[in-house]
Amino acid sequence: MTTPTQALQLILGRVRPLPARLLPLEQVLGLAVAEDLHSPSTVPPFTNSAMDGYAVQAADLAEASEAHPVCLQVLGDLAAGGVPLCAVGPGQALRIMTGAPLPEGADSVVPVEDTTRGGNWVETTRPLRAGIHIRLAGEDLRKGQLLATAGQGLRPGDLGVLAAAGIATVSVHPRVRVAVLTTGDELVDVSEQPGPGRIRDANIHAVCAQVTACGAIPVPFPRVPDDRATLLGVLRQALEADVVLTTGGISVGDYDFMKAMLEELGAERIFWKVAQKPGGPLGFWLLDGKPIFGLPGNPVAAMLMVEEYVRPALRKLMGFSKLHRPEAEAALEDGWTGRTDQRTTFLRVVARREADGLKARLTGPQGSAILSSMLVANALAVVPEGVAQVEPGGVVLLHLTEEAEDH
């Protein structure tokens, strides 16, 4: 069987970012930029007041105090958006509002709360030094300054900076549309009361949520019965999306038709089965370059496969440069005992940071159908092949599934 490392390499080696699109700023939050972005302008474009107050020459106020107040002639008022019509000379002041251009001759602003106004004069008892309460031209952004690198996801702060720089449209990779199919005669809707031999379909909700959390767009399909003709028709519709995810139907049972149906449609099988638990029966196909993932039907195994293999692939398709969750070593406090075989084991754990390092505990029973083990899990502990036991306090590698990709 393919190892987890090999499987991920095979997947990522065969997916390419979707073609970039030029979108308005209000539509690019969370998307990856397709090319480096540089500021086309200087911000702020002119030196301006950071306070409501009076534009002055600081030298006039160097010795101001309660015992020796300084009185300055007021030349007029300047509102934000206005243009200074006069220069400020020694012994003079110009009433100025926040954001208004600093007039020629002035080098500082006295906050209005530190002054007393009387007619065409203003008095202050506070000493002042040059450069106080002003924003220098270009102190925020320089023309040509790098604002974002290709592959970077755009955050709210990034959009604010781009807007300030005058960038109204951005070349980004679009969100991936992911068709999600769940198969099996035993499945019923979450709103239904399951009859004998039936269970509620948790996979459609869990997997779609994972796709959404990744920044992609899930396209859920109605549950597909274990019927070849129905499955073939639904697959043809699903292939209109950018990626297809199926759960169930890819094992070796009499009613597991997925592999045969995909290959009947002309899909190229890249691999089937990964040497891991839970989740061994993972399949990956390409059809006209379109990725198709066959996930196991057990809900924990399906979610784990999405986290470990599908999520990095979706991020690459969406043009992100960072594909993988952070990794860290931790002490597994309760230890673990399994079987010695040639499969990698993924354990659901709760990780926490303490003064002496990262600690982890199992979330409970680790069966591939025990979905409640995901309730509090914030990491996956990776136990290498051939290791059947981790002693209490033994060191394990964690994939930190609640933290943003960092490498």
Q: State in words which class domain 4-18+174-317 has.
A: alpha beta
Distance from C-alpha of 267 to C-alpha of 265, rounded to nearest angstrom? 6
Contact status, residue 205 vs residue 218, Cβ threshold 8 Å = no
pLDDT tens string, the chain, 407 residues long: the values are: 899 999 999 999 999 999 999 999 999 999 999 999 999 999 999 999 999 999 999 999 999 999 999 999 999 999 999 999 999 999 999 999 999 999 999 999 999 999 999 989 999 999 999 999 999 999 999 999 999 999 999 999 999 999 999 999 999 999 999 999 988 767 667 667 777 777 677 888 999 999 999 999 999 987 777 778 888 888 889 999 999 999 876 655 544 577 888 888 899 999 999 999 998 889 999 998 999 999 988 889 999 999 999 999 999 999 999 999 999 999 999 999 988 788 999 999 999 999 999 999 999 988 877 888 888 999 999 999 999 999 999 999 999 999 999 75
Q: Which residues contact 119 (CB under 8 A, 6 or more apart)?
A: none
Phi-psi sector, 269: left (phi>0), alpha (psi -120 to 50), beta = beta
**What pLDDT score was predicted for residue 188?**
65
The pLDDT tens digits for 238-278 are: 999 999 999 876 655 544 577 888 888 899 999 999 999 99
Give DSSP secondary structure letters for 227-265: -HHHHHHHHHHHTTSSEEEEES--SSSTT--HHHHHHHT
**What pLDDT score was predicted for residue 254?**
44
Domain 48-135 sits in CATH 2.170.190.11: yes
Residues of the chain with CATH 2.40.340.10: 327-399
Contact status, residue 249 vs residue 320, Cβ threshold 8 Å = no
Q: Tokens representing 311?
A: 């999520």
User: Any idea what DSSP says for residue 306?
Assistant: I
Is the bond preceding residue 326 a cis peptide, omega within 30 degrees? no
Q: Tokens representing 36?
A: 């480096």
Place of tokens 């209109």: 240
Place of tokens 């991020």: 315
Residue 103: C-alpha distances to residues 39, 44, 48, 376 (Å): 26, 15, 8, 60
- Sign (positive or negative) of CA dihedral 23, 29, 30, 36: positive
End-to-end CA distance of the chain: 27
Alpha carbon 13 to chain centroid, angstroms: 22
User: Any idea what DSSP says for residue 59?
Assistant: G
Question: For residue 295, which of 327, 322, 256, 266 has the smallest C-alpha distance?
Answer: 256
Alpha carbon 196 to chain centroid, angstroms: 42
Give DSSP secondary structure letters for 102-141: PPTT--EEEEGGGEEEETTEEEE-S---TTTTEE-TTSSB
Contact status, residue 199 vs residue 298, Cβ threshold 8 Å = no
Task: Report helix, strand or coil for 204.
Answer: helix
Question: For residue 184, which of 200, 207, 171, 196 has the smallest C-alpha distance?
Answer: 200
Question: For residue 321, which of 215, 406, 217, 214 has the smallest C-alpha distance?
Answer: 406
Q: Tokens representing 387?
A: 């290791």
**What pLDDT score was predicted for residue 189?**
74
Alpha carbon 296 to chain centroid, angstroms: 27
**What pLDDT score was predicted for residue 407?**
58
Contact status, residue 243 vs residue 317, Cβ threshold 8 Å = yes
Strand pairing class (21-24; 32-33):
unpaired
Domain 327-399 sits in CATH 3.40.1160.10: no
Task: Report helix, strand or coil for 208.
Answer: helix
**What pLDDT score was predicted for residue 264?**
84
Residues 21-43+140-173, CATH architecture = Alpha-Beta Complex (3.90)
Q: Which residues contact 34 (CB under 8 A, 6 or more apart)?
A: 17, 20, 150, 171, 172, 173, 319
Contact status, residue 111 vs residue 103, Cβ threshold 8 Å = no
Residues of the chain with CATH 2.170.190.11: 48-135
Residues of the chain with CATH 3.40.980.10: 4-18+174-317
The pLDDT tens digits for 149-158 are: 999 999 999 9
Alpha carbon 159 to chain centroid, angstroms: 14
